[in-house]
């Protein structure tokens, strides 16, 4: 009795304190809630752009995605969370990897314009089936489509390399070393984007949202063991709060309302089953786009087997 | 470890169950209050962050991998009992279809003490989601102490921990009780392993067929006969809350309903009725028996109060009304009748009155049995020259057929309302010879298992959990 009275008093005081001092602080978080608001607006604009827009961004993502996951598996097999924090670091390293084929232009800066020429003919080849006569027009259209950061870096690099060209032959040798560092830096800057640099307010297309949702579902569904034949199983909902690491592994997960669920063995068992699905090492990592880490770092997974239990 | 007696000795079995309590409970409450306070503080102070909400609406229906290690013991006898307990637990859980036991040969390292937290990494490698451990201790000549713990391997938490005391001969029941405990903790539903099945054991051929009342544990062990076979017996039914059976016997060549007390072995005639009584079943509170009585060429449904012996007629129709069964709340009765021309299922109030037809599918419906959890009615269906065991909602919707055969009949529910047992006759010769076996099937219809009996078996009845 006493303890419950103390709790009751504490709660009342807490409510009063929140009313007096806490309200201004509570008003601030809604700013963060704007994040989903932004996401909701996007689909309206994105509906028409769905097919074309998402394609180009995926290519750079893949490069970033495919490579970073490699480091995490090794530590994961042994122990879960400990060795992972340095994970964001490997990205720039990985991002630097692509340049190796390009060192060739360094000794011969003149060769660089050539790749440009190569890039153009490729798009030309595709539009052929439509109308060979409009080849000239097709070129400018294709140029904007591959807004590769890498290509833009090459452009900038060209400009900079053109400047030193008029100088004497001796100098270019020394300068040739400088561009090396610039070249690497530029590529590293343009291709490596740390997840922490992601702006949550950045608009995400509808297809990107769907892709993330689908990846999470596809990861969870094969791991979540449900019990067919249980009474009203389709009405039981379990909510799991999950925190993910940048490499897609679970760093923390908890079942919400666990204390309340303890009074209902069936709901508790269902919740724990969902939690086991989240914690199952065989069901990690989530292969999610690293550059959207800020979006999927914190997950709220709501488990309800209504689709599996049709009744 | 602080412990306190939580459940008192089971009748005639002397099993005592203990669970952490007392001081620990107080500490838990205190910790709970502190947690609430901290939670509130965190809610006020902690900054909000964006969360991605995702609905997971599909999962997989497959058994939960569980590792059950041999229960530890010091002496050879303790080790043997420990090994047997683990074997029975494994068998119970696997037979339910909801668990997949991991082969003990694959175990990497088995903890040699219950006092330490298991090395969960070793069990995660085996993909075990739950881990059961235990120990056996024989104290004196007639005391068996069994401890067990259930662990969630992924969450690395203890899900259950109990201590049982009994006589060493009860080790099998202890195993069933522990299996029930695991089943309930992991699935949230009551278990059904500490139960028994009574059935009609059949031997001989043709006119010399001998039918005896037999009883066994739900896993087929501890089999023995209750009657000697001198009189034909049929339709045994368990009391829902007592270790009593009601059945029909042709003792003295007169078919009448009897009650048999398992613990005392005493058999009692229910009443001397003017007509033939059959298809008896207990009411949910065990105080009444509902049955059919054929009188003057008409079969109606009657109840008899076992305390006052007062008889009440519930139906009044020229058709044959039979196979009555109470709903678990005792307010309604389902039965079958041919009042519409063919044998169909009807539901009426437990006090009688207007009956509502609930079965409308093709064929005939018989032997309706209301699920102990109240949501379904199991039945036998005869259509297209075949027999089926099926279930439907209590309003007749959502009919599903679970099992079929040349002759399948007499469904009976496990006390948790998830598994159904029935018997199946299979012809083995052109001269009319048949083999009759008991089978169980769960509501998914995918986990059908034969119950091994020493002879032909029919008319099973599942007991409630043994008190």
How many helices (H) and strands (E) would you count in chain A?
A: 15, 3
Identify all chain B residues contacting A212, using CB atoms and an 8 Å cutoff. Answer: 52
Inter-chain touch A300–B62, beta carbons under 8 Å: no
Residue pLDDT, tens place only, B281-334: 999 998 899 999 888 888 999 999 988 989 899 998 888 999 999 999 999 999
Q: Which residues of chain B make contact with A273, given a CB cutoff of 8 A?
A: 64, 186
If you measure CA to CA, which chain A residue comes closest to B420? A229
Whether the per-residue pLDDT at A114 is higher than 50: the answer is no
DSSP B153: T
Q: Between chains, do A227 and B61 touch, taking CB under 8 Å as contact?
A: yes
Q: Which residue of B has its CA nearest to A239?
A: B55
Q: Is A3 on the interface with B (CB under 8 A)?
A: yes
pLDDT of residue B252: 82
Distance, CA of A6 to CA of A8 (rounded, Å): 5
Specify the pLDDT at position A63.
Answer: 33
- Per-residue pLDDT tens digits for B7-46: 333 344 556 666 544 444 555 555 556 655 665 554 554 4
Asked if residues B133 and B119 have their Cβ atoms less than 8 Å apart, the reply is no
Strand order of the β-sheet with B376-383 is: B364-370, B376-383, B386-393, B400-405
Give the minimum alpha-carbon distance from A102 to chain B in angstroms, rounded to a whole number: 39
Can you tell me which residue has the tokens 């018989």?
A: B366
Residue B132 has pLDDT above 80, yes or no: yes
Condensed to tens digits (0 to 9), the pLDDT of residues B379-401 reads 999 999 999 999 999 999 999 99
Q: Which residue of B has its CA nearest to A232?
A: B375
In this prediction, residue B448 carries a pLDDT of 94
End-to-end distance of chain A based on CA atoms, in angstroms? 45
Tell me which chain B residues have a C-beta less than 8 angstroms from the C-beta of A224: 56, 58-60
A14 touches chain B (CB under 8 A): yes
The answer to whether ipTM exceeds 0.90 is no
Q: Is B346 within 8 Å of B334 (Cβ atoms)?
A: yes
Tell which B residues from 181 to 240 touch A, by Cβ distance under 8 Å: 184-189
Q: Model confidence at B264, in pLDDT bands (50, 70, 90)?
A: confident
Supply the pTM of this predicted model. 0.69
**Chain A environment of B188 (Cβ under 8 Å):** 230, 264-270
Which residues of chain A neighbour B54 with C-beta distances below 8 Å?
213, 216-217, 299-302
- The 10s digit of each residue's pLDDT in A159-209 is 655 555 444 444 444 444 444 445 556 555 544 444 444 455 556 788 888
Tokens of B18: 């203990």
Mutation pick from B119, B188, B373, B391 vs chain A, by most beta carbons of A within 10 Å, is: B188
Per-residue tokens: A198: 């992601």
Mean pLDDT over each residue of chain B, to the nearest integer: 87
A39-70 tens-digit pLDDT: 333 333 333 333 333 333 333 333 333 233 33
Instruction: Identify from B34, B44, B57 which residue to disrupt to test chain A contact, counting A C-beta atoms within 10 A and taking the largest count.
Output: B57
| Helix intervals (H) in A81-169 | 90-96, 113-119, 121-125, 135-142, 149-162
Nearest CA of chain A to the CA of B212: how many Å? Answer: 34
User: Please, which pLDDT band fits residue B439 given cuts at 50, 70 and 90?
Assistant: very high
Residue among B37, B53, B129 minimizing CB distance to A302: B53
> Where are any strands of DSSP class E within A168-296?
238-244, 250-255
Q: Is A25 on the interface with B (CB under 8 A)?
A: yes
Residues 6 or more apart whose CB falls under 8 angstroms from that of A77 comprise none
Please say whether the beta carbons of B447 and B405 come within 8 A: no
Per-residue pLDDT at B318? 87
Across the interface, do A308 and B58 touch by the CB < 8 Å criterion?
yes
Nearest CA in chain B to A6: B33
3-state DSSP call for residue B7? Answer: strand
């Amino acid at each position: 009795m006493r303890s419950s009275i103390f709790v009751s008093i504490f709660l009342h005081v807490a409510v009063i304190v929140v009313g007096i001092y806490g309200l201004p602080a509570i008003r601030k978080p809604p700013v963060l809630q704007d994040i989903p608001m932004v996401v909701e607006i996007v689909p309206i604009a994105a509906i028409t752009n769905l097919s074309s827009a998402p394609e180009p961004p995926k290519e750079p993502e893949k490069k970033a995605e495919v490579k970073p996951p490699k480091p995490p598996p090794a530590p994961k097999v042994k122990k879960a969370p400990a060795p992972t924090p340095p994970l964001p670091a490997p990205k720039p390293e990985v991002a630097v990897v692509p340049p190796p084929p390009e060192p060739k232009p360094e000794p011969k800066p003149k060769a660089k314009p050539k790749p440009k020429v190569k890039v153009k003919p490729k798009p030309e080849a595709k539009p052929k089936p439509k109308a060979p006569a409009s080849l000239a027009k097709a070129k400018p259209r294709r140029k904007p489509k591959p807004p590769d950061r890498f290509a833009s870096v090459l452009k900038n690099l060209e400009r900079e390399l053109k400047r030193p060209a008029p100088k004497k032959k001796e100098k270019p040798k020394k300068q040739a070393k400088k561009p090396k560092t610039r070249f690497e830096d530029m590529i590293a800057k343009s291709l490596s984007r740390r997840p922490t640099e992601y702006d949550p307010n950045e608009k995400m297309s509808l297809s990107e949202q769907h892709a993330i949702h689908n990846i999470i579902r596809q990861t969870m569904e094969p791991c979540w063991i449900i019990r067919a034949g249980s009474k009203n199983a389709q009405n039981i909902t379990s909510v799991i709060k999950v925190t993910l690491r940048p490499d897609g592994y679970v760093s923390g997960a908890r079942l919400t309302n666990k204390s309340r669920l303890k009074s209902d063995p069936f709901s508790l068992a269902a919740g724990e089953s969902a939690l086991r699905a989240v914690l199952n090492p065989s069901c990690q990592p989530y292969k999610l786009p690293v550059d959207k880490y800020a979006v999927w770092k914190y997950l709220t997974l709501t488990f309800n087997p209504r689709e599996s239990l049709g009744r | 470890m602080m412990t306190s007696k939580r459940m008192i000795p089971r009748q005639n079995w002397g099993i005592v169950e203990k669970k952490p309590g007392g001081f620990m409970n107080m500490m838990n409450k205190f910790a709970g209050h502190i947690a609430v306070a901290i939670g509130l503080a965190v809610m006020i102070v902690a900054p909000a962050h964006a969360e991605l909400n995702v609905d997971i609406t599909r999962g997989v229906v497959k058994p939960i991998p569980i590792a059950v290690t041999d229960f530890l013991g010091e002496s050879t006898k303790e080790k043997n009992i420990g090994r047997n307990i683990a074997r029975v637990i494994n068998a119970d859980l696997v037979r339910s279809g909801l668990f997949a036991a991991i082969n003990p040969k694959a175990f990497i390292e088995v903890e040699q003490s219950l006092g330490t937290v298991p090395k969960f990494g070793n069990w995660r490698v085996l993909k075990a989601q739950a881990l059961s451990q235990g120990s056996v201790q024989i104290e004196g000549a007639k005391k068996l102490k069994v401890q067990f713990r259930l662990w969630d391997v992924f969450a690395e938490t203890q899900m259950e921990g109990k201590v049982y005391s009994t006589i060493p001969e009860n080790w099998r029941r202890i195993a069933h009780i522990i299996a029930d405990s695991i089943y309930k903790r992991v699935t949230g539903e009551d278990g059904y392993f500490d139960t028994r099945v009574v059935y009609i054991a059949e031997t001989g051929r043709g006119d010399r067929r001998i039918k005896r009342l037999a009883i066994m544990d739900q896993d087929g062990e501890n089999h023995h006969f209750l009657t000697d076979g001198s009189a034909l017996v049929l339709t045994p039914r368990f009391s829902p809350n007592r270790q009593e059976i009601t059945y029909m016997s042709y003792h003295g060549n007169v078919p009448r309903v009897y009650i048999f007390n398992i613990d005392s072995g005493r058999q009692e005639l229910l009443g001397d009725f003017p007509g033939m009584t059959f298809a008896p079943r207990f009411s949910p509170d065990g105080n009444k028996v509902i049955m059919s009585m054929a009188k003057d060429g008409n079969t109606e449904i009657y109840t008899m109060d076992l305390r006052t012996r007062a008889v009440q007629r519930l139906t009044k129709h020229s058709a044959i009304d039979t196979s009555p069964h109470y709903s678990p709340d005792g307010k309604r009765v389902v039965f079958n009748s041919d009042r519409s021309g063919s044998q169909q299922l009807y539901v009426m109030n437990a006090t009688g009155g207007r009956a509502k037809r609930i079965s409308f599918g093709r064929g005939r419906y018989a032997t309706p049995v209301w699920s102990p959890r109240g949501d379904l009615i199991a039945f036998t269906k005869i259509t297209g020259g075949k027999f089926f065991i099926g279930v439907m909602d209590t309003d007749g919707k959502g009919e599903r057929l679970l099992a079929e055969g040349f002759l399948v009949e007499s469904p009976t529910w496990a006390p948790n309302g998830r598994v159904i047992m029935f018997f199946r006759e299979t012809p083995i010769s052109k001269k009319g010879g048949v083999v009759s076996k008991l089978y169980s099937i769960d509501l998914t219809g995918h986990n059908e298992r034969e119950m091994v009996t020493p002879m032909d078996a029919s008319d099973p009845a599942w007991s409630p959990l043994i008190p």
